[in-house]
Chains A and B, each alone.
Chain A
Amino acid sequence: MTAAQALALRRLLEQGLPRVSRPYQALAEQIGTDETQVLGQMRQWHAQGLFRRIGLVLNHRALGFTANAMLVLDVPDALIDEVGQRLGHAPGISLCYQRPRRLPQWRYNLFCMVHGRQRERVEAQIRQMLEAHLLSDLPHQLLFSSHAFKQCGGRFAPLPSGVPAHG
């Protein structure tokens, strides 16, 4: 597959996978190659970690996951990796990242996302999790979202033509 074909393939995939029984063949026809080439390229991208899976983006609010909370903690620098690993793998935590403090406006450096159906249950779950890990004394806050203005996860922004095609 040429670099131009690989780039064309990636641009097509931005719009999602074709919803036909042989999606890779449909893609191949659009960029002038065959199904084997497209599958090979996509397996290579997958192996390189360019994408994790052919998955979906759920409108989690439409499915009743309306109690969506961001737990932020102020963790001493020496403990951040240990606490991040532990909380990141605690049940119910869907994302866990370290981010910079911005003093004096923002003191928190560990961010965990929790998605639940009921606010009270999410609050109780987080309280229990912090107690179980003996972290209740760390300064922390729980920021519930009350409204989603824009959700188009997965659409990536325009990329410059100089981006390597990885293929």
Chain B
Amino acid sequence: MDDLDRRLINRLQLGLPLVRHPWQVLADELQSSARELLDRVHNLLEDGVLTRFGPMFDIERLGGAFTLAALSVPEVRFDEVAGQLHALPEVAHNYRREHPWNMWFVLGCASEQDLSDTLQRIETLTGLPVLNLPKEETYHVGLYFPV
């Protein structure tokens, strides 16, 4: 990654403008060319530095349902349970955390009913009780990683 990659990533975290020639706008800001920036985004995705580029719809406003959930998984079963969750398309993120509740994951489902069915399915699959922690209030959303 060079300086232009970094400036591009930082700028894109603020969002691509909704105009006909968005890359030209960015090229003017970053003193580059639209072609060059598109190639850079392509390479950053290929290299896995970026995992996605595009609008992220708010699933809740589309009638969907999200939650943050946790499991307390016995150490010997950790990889097995991680594999079980990985196979479920509703699981968007799964992190190991240093805590007795050691597996934390986000579920994204098409409806509240679907979410409650998925939680039930996870309990049945793993034989472990799920800690279900849906968000009740949002105080701040501002994910930004200066690189």
Contacts and interface: CB of A to CB of B under 8 A. Distances in A.
A125 interface: no
Contacts of A84: 137, 139
A55 B58 contact: no
Main secondary structure of the interface of A (DSSP, over half): mixed
A150 B91 contact: yes
B108 A156 contact: yes
B131 interface: yes
Contact of B53 (A19, A81, A115): A19
Interface in B33-49: 34-35, 38, 41-42, 47-49
Interface residues of B, number: 75
A143 B51 contact: no
A150 B85 contact: yes
A2 interface: no
B106 to A, nearest CB: 8
B61 A49 contact: yes
Interface in B96-147: 96-99, 101, 104-105, 108-111, 114, 131-145, 147
B110 A94 contact: no
Given A84-B139, A146-B98, A157-B89, A54 B133 contact: no
A50 B58 contact: yes
B86 interface: yes
A133 interface: no
Interface of B: 9, 12-24, 34-35, 38, 41-42, 47-59, 61-64, 68, 82, 85-86, 89-99, 101, 104-105, 108-111, 114, 131-145, 147
Interface of A: 10, 13-17, 19-25, 35, 39, 42-43, 45-46, 48-60, 62-63, 65, 68, 70, 80-81, 84-85, 87-89, 93-100, 102, 105-106, 111, 115, 141, 143-160, 163-164, 166
17 contacts: A20-B38, A54-B22, A55-B12, A56-B50, A58-B13, A62-B49, A93-B140, A97-B135, A100-B133, A105-B131, A106-B101, A145-B96, A150-B94, A152-B92, A152-B93, A157-B109, A164-B63
